Amino acid sequence: MTSIKMFRRFTPLIFGIFFCSSTILGQWTDYGVWSSASISQKVLDNLDFSSEVQTRFDHEASRLSTTFTNLSLSKSLTSNWKLSSTLRLGVTRANDNAFEPLSRISFSVKHKRTLLTNLAASVRFRYQLKTDFKQAFRLSPALYYKVSKKLRLAFYTEFFVRPSLEGLFHSDSRYRFIVKYKVSKRRWVSFGYQIEQQKNTPDPRTEHVFICSYDMEMKRRNGKK
């Protein structure tokens, strides 16, 4: 009961950030939809492999903007620390509305710690590099709350920093709320809402995104007979 009361205290703050941020620094607004499906499998005791397919729609969710596949390897160093590398391959819509290849590689380190019985927090730092040598750094604090064995809630923030001739600058921010439900053993569905804002640009955009995803965890095969 104590953890439930603590989460209720966080709820007004979380939704306050969502509604306040939707009106800050946005000269024009767009609505989009992200959908994805992923499969993950434990390769070794501390090594996981996952594959994700994702599609994104923008322009009031009427136009396909990006579709890609993520291939990831994650290694748990301890119960609190994890290293990951991800290769992304796909296509994205350019300014002339034609699709162009999308590819990038990223590396991240994540620290996660339990705060209360059902409440945990994490911080992730990610470096990403595209084939055209464009770089970005991403800092992602998050809160996780376990409502029951089948229901999870999460609140994510993410800050993008990119290099320029004048040095590093803050280019984008994301605020995301996710509800995750276990539909069967090792299978989850997630629904969420995200606000993404551009910063330090002459024509900043605020994008509202509705998220739906399906995740399946494969059972590790036992090589012993």
Task: Give per-residue pLDDT as tens, 91-149.
Answer: 999 888 899 999 999 999 999 999 999 999 999 999 999 988 899 999 999 999 999 99
169 phi and psi angles, rounded to 5 deg: -140, 150
**What pLDDT is attached to residue 7?**
52
pLDDT band at residue 8 under the 50/70/90 scheme: low
45-76 pLDDT, tens digit per residue, is 889 999 999 999 999 999 999 999 999 999 99
DSSP 221: P
- pLDDT, average across residues 22-47: 83
Number of domains in the chain: 1
Q: For tokens 């136009």, name the residue.
A: 63
Q: Determine how many CB atoms are found less than 10 A away from the CB of residue 176.
A: 19
Q: Say whether 148 sits in a helix, a strand or coil.
A: coil
> Does 114 map to a domain?
yes
DSSP 9-29: HHHHHHHHHHHHHTTSS-SEE
| CATH number (domain holding residue 109) | 2.40.160.40
Q: For tokens 């002459």, name the residue.
A: 202
> Does 225 map to a domain?
no
Residue 169 identity (one-letter amino acid): F
Q: Say whether 61 sits in a helix, a strand or coil.
A: coil
Q: Which residues contact 43 (CB under 8 A, 6 or more apart)?
A: 49, 220
* Category of 98 on φ-ψ map: left (φ > 0), alpha (ψ -120 to 50) or beta: beta
pLDDT band at residue 1 under the 50/70/90 scheme: very low
> Does 51 map to a domain?
yes
Q: Say whether 4 sits in a helix, a strand or coil.
A: helix
> Does 45 map to a domain?
yes
> Does 224 map to a domain?
no
> Does 105 map to a domain?
yes
| H-assigned helices in the chain | 2-21
Domain holding 34, by residue range, is 2-218
> Does 223 map to a domain?
no
> Does 41 map to a domain?
yes
Residue 72, token pair as written in the block: 């990831």
Residue 21, token pair as written in the block: 């941020």
